[in-house]
Structures are given as structure tokens and as C-alpha cells.
Amino acid sequence: MGDDEIEPRRTERQKFGVSCNAGRSVRESGRYIAGDDLDTAGVQQRCNRTPPADVERETESSSGIVKPVEHARRELVEHWPNLGQPWCCPGPMGGDCPAIEDLHLAHRRACAASAGWRKAPVMLKSLARAALDLLLPPQCLACSEEVPADGLLCVSCFVETSFITDPVCGQCGLPLAEPAPLCTSCDWAPPTFRSARAALQYNAAAKRLILPFKYADRPELAIGLARLLLRPGKKLLARADLLVPVPLHRSRLAHRGYNQAGLLARALGRISGKNVMIDALVRLRATRPLSELDQTGRELALKGAIGIREGREAHIAGRTILLVDDVLTTGATASACADALYAAGAAAVDVLAIARVAEAEDI
């Protein structure tokens, strides 16, 4: 080979990144160069050079590489030890150089092994759930009757439960005898929130569902109750950007141990795939039990009692908020929460609750 041919060949090798690591050259250039074509003297001379800056940056940025490729790399190091030593000299001076087909094969094997391990926890979880159902059969949300799966009502409780269906008030969700845009209360004094919906009428059957969840330390009921919200809240969930629960004062939270609206919002977010911000709202001061007060008394008691937690304004501004609560009574608490959310820049506030009080005697 003449001198006039050697220099173009050397320039071509430099162009395609042929240095002292042929395996790296294969991956970076996209073409396979046989070991016999390497200028062994020139390659040996470059073995001890410092890696170029762009290669160092490439190495630093590879820390976020996906796990299957990491498995492939380990497998390659086991089969070709020189590959684990950067800037070594495989090929004619450092052992066998892996062909690109070998790299692809190792990567496919690693991906298949990783996918199998990812499926294992799901299978174990299913087996554990089946074993638990065998030892502790699922029970009705409202009573101790056995049901086919968790979060369901037995036949008798389902018949006694009053589900809210159309017609309802377009703003507060109150069941109506005849279709109308708004109920009388919303027509005269509309609430602050845009729209509200509830799954059940608050009667004796609804109390058997909600009161144990709220007062009897039954947080496991949250998932089943959240599923009841999917039907009435379909449109509200579709347009919501963020789920926010009605807050509980810290003294009541310490006594009860959990905020039932927060558990409900978290469960609903898990089912619907919506983002949840548990601590967006805060009770600034304690109020007397609202069940002892009428509409006007509730509004006065809640005035200035609910605000935005510090640092949460940026997450609320310009977004549609879905406020989640267990029971919607007069709407005074929901309106106080909506006032605080609007003050923080919320675009709109809707309300979704398990039950809606429809009769004055149920307050």
C-alpha cells in the first residue's frame, strides 16, 4: 500500500472515531471495521491519551440510562473483560472485539430478563390478594355481608341506598322534582363554587356508609367510597386539573388521626389518574360544630377560617380545582374553600361529595 493511500485511510478512521477501542468505534460510527484494517502502531500510540471532552460529557450523561441497558453492559463486561476498561485496545492487541450483532443480542436478552422481573411483583401481589380474600372475605361497605370484591354494596344495602340522578340543580347538585336550571336557593343566593355533584342522598343508608369512615377509624373504606364518585363526577373529573380536599383543623385532625376528605381525594386521584394536593387548604382557626348552626350561622362561623397554605399559590393559579368532601350540606364550607382558592388565582372551583343533604331534617 503506497503512502498516498495510507493517509486517506488514516483520515477516514479518524473521521469514524477509530481509536484504541474498536468496540466503542462500532457503537459510535455505526459501521464495523475489522481488526486487520487498524493501524496498530498508531492505535497503540493513542491508547494512553486522555479521553476527549465530548466523550467525557457523554459518559457523565449516561447515568440516567435505562436499567435493561445496564444489564446488557454488565453481561458484555462478563463476556469481554476488555470492554469494562475504557480506552483499552481490543482487537489485535486486547482480545476479541464483539461484533454489533453480539451487542444487539446481549441487549435483547437483558431487556427480556428485566421485563420478566418487572412482572414478578404483579403476580405476587395478585397471589397475596387472593390469599387474603380467602382468609378475610370482602365485606359490604355498609354492613358485614360478604360480597364478591372489595368496595361493593350487598344487595340489601344497594336497594336501600338513594343514588342521586337527574334532574338536579345545575350549581349545587340538589335533587329536584322537575327539571330546572337552578334550585330556588341558588337562584336567590348562588354559592361561590361553579358546580357541585354528589353520589348519594344523605339518609340512613348513606350514614351507615359515611359515619364509620369519618368517626370509627375505618380509613380502608376510602377506595370503595371513591369509586362511588366516578359516575356523578365524570364531567367534573374530566375538566379538573387538581383535586383538593376540604381541610380539617389540626386539633380535630390530632383527635381523629386522619382527614377523611384527604383520604377520599387521594383514593379518587389514584383511580382517576388526577393530581392531588392534600395540603393546599388549611383551617386557620377552629370553629364550633357546624351541625349546630343554620345556613347563616355556618357562613359567619367559616368567614376567614379557611385559607391557602403558604407556598401553594403557584400550584393553584390558573387551574381548575375539584374540591372533595364527604358530605355537602348547605354548601357553606365548600363556598369558604372556593373563596380561598379563587383568591389564590384558581380559574374555577367545582365540588364533589359522597352525599348531598336534600332535606332540612338531615342537616
Maximum Cα–Cα distance across the chain? 105
pLDDT score for 90: 43
Task: Report pLDDT digits (tens) over 307-334.
Answer: 999 999 999 999 999 999 999 999 999 9
Cβ neighbours, 10 Å, residue 142: 22
Task: Report pLDDT digits (tens) over 64-88.
Answer: 444 455 555 565 555 555 444 443 4
Task: Report pLDDT digits (tens) over 205-238.
Answer: 999 999 999 999 999 999 999 999 999 999 999 9
Question: So where are the chain's domains?
Answer: 3-111, 155-362
Q: Find all residues with CB under 8 Å of 192, minimum gap 6, and list them.
A: 334, 335, 336, 338, 339, 342, 349
Which contiguous run of DSSP H or E holds residue 323? strand 320-328
- Class of the domain covering 155-362: alpha beta
Kindly give the interhelix angle for 295-302 and 332-343, rounded to the nearest 10 degrees. 30
Strands 281-283 and 306-308: antiparallel
